[in-house]
Chain A
Amino acid sequence: MHPVQRLTCSFQKWIGIAAAYPSQGPVNAAASPDEIRSAQAARRKSLQQAREEGWAAAMRAGLTGDTHAYGWFLEDATPYIRAVVRRRAGNRSAADVEDIVQDVLLALHLKRGSWNQSLPIGPWISTLTRNKIVDAHRKTKSMAHIPIDDLSDVLPATQEESSGDPDPDINGLLSRLRPQQREVVQMISVDGISVRDAASRLRMSEGAVYVTLHRAFKALAALYRGNAL
């Protein structure tokens, strides 16, 4: 069933896009700049609306088990989210922007049950995105006044040649993670077990393992910064 649903989603989207470009006769030469501008704005608006209707249809299909439609939704919404994040990012690096984008995607995923299906999906996505951007701003604000020179002493200069044992410091940090996070990091990053195997051993879905791993890395980074200071 899924390819059909998927097709329906993109079909809805394209119908909307086609409708946003009405076949006009020759361009009205007398159109004032204001008229053109408002026509462009209207077109942008209905384009966005069409896109959101496609996303909503895909999300509905996803929530009832169509993983392809759901994946398409996440993929198709990513550039939009990235554009929003970038616009509000100030002078962040591309990597930082991508971090926030991933945070937003995680939030969309973990909180997908918070979308009221009878409402348009756009405002839901925007609210979650805005929230994650604010979170990111708050985090950097609390770290903003640490001059980099102070960090150079404590940051490892270069990676020493790796011996068999992981750095004792790393073990110390790992022990401060939540049990489930520690288990996942231990399996995947230290023991080198594949995500799929780790998922079946922990009786979790692969997606959940990824989410846990992602969060564990964030927590580790925070712990590392905390230790270093």
Chain B
Amino acid sequence: MKTKELIRHLAKDSTLRWPFHRAFKLALAASLAITVLIYAALVGPRPDVLQAADSTRFLFKFVVTLSTATTAALLVARQSQPGSPLGLWRLAPITGPLLLIAAVIAELIASPPSAWASLTIGSNSLMCLTLIPLLAAGPLFCILIALRHGAPTHPGVAGATAGMLASAIAATFYASRCTDDSPLFVATWYPLASAFMVVTGYAIGRRMLRW
């Protein structure tokens, strides 16, 4: 096939209904909607959520999850639009984990060593490991579909970032359910649940996002 001919035919479809930025915004909105629905139907907030809202430990969980969600969203949008300078953005999603590490150190200073084990193990670890992936599955799916409208140069890495974004969205909702507020608990189980989604995102992204 002649290149000129190819161009002539390609040029006929110049318009585009779903440029990446539009698809991505829709995916984020859909992710939120799906998560809210599942959360309302199956999870719900913890009974003492109003009292908890006064506790720094409880609120800090949202600082971690929301900063991770924001930075992961900004990074994955850049990864999907070739030509965007990445630079330090590559490291942006570790903001949340770094804050968490600082909180863990503060907690270790503030609490007696005898309490460390019970604070870490908590009482919701199994629920954390099931609910985060459950809530994150829908968002991951939506975000990966949107990334297909972009052109990630490293499909696996973009998929992994999408997994991180999806689990951060899920963890934000889950955090309002979970009664374990100690940074020791959060730093142990939340990353474990998220790692599962990150690996899943990587594996799916590698296949699904190639172009």
Residue positions of A touching B, CB distance < 8 A: 62-71, 74-75, 78, 98, 101-102, 105-107, 109-116, 119-128, 131, 195, 205-211, 214, 217
Contact = CB atoms under 8 A, between A and B. Distances in A.
A107 B1 contact: no
B13 A205 contact: yes
B3 A111 contact: no
A62 B14 contact: yes
B19 A111 contact: no
Given A114-B19, A114-B150, 8 more contacts: A67-B11, A71-B8, A107-B211, A114-B20, A126-B83, A131-B82, A206-B13, A209-B9
B69 interface: no
A113 B23 contact: yes
B14 A105 contact: no
B153 A127 contact: yes
B82 to A, nearest CB: 4
B83 to A, nearest CB: 3
A98 B3 CA distance: 8
Contact of B20 (A64, A113, A207): A113
Nearest to A77: B7
B86 to A, nearest CB: 11
B10 A211 contact: yes
Contacts, number: 117
A65 B3 contact: no
Interface residues on B, range: 20 to 34
Given A64-B15, A208-B13, A214-B1, A113 B6 contact: no
Given A64-B15, A70-B14, A114-B151, A207 B9 contact: yes
Contact of B3 (A71, A105, A120, A127): A105
Contacts of B20: 113-114, 116
B206 interface: no
B84 interface: yes
B83 A195 contact: no
Contact of B153 (A102, A115, A116, A131): A131
A192 B3 CA distance: 21
Nearest to A128: B82
A116 B18 contact: no
Nearest to B1: A214
Contacts of A68: 11
Nearest to B149: A113
B1 A102 contact: yes
Nearest to B7: A74
20 contacts: A63-B14, A67-B12, A71-B8, A71-B10, A102-B3, A105-B3, A105-B6, A106-B10, A109-B13, A111-B211, A112-B19, A113-B150, A114-B82, A114-B151, A115-B82, A116-B83, A119-B83, A127-B82, A206-B13, A207-B9
The 8 A-B residue pairs whose C-beta atoms are closest, nearest first, are A71-B11, A123-B83, A124-B83, A70-B14, A127-B82, A207-B13, A114-B151, A113-B19
A63 B11 CA distance: 10
A75 B2 CA distance: 12
Nearest to A62: B14
Interface in B32-87: 80-84
A67 B14 contact: yes
Interface centre among A105, A120, A209 (most CB of B within 10 A): A105
A71 B150 contact: no
Nearest to A64: B15
B10 A107 contact: no
Nearest to A112: B16
Contact of A207 (B1, B12, B18): B12
Contacts of B6: 102, 105-106, 210, 214
A206 B3 contact: no
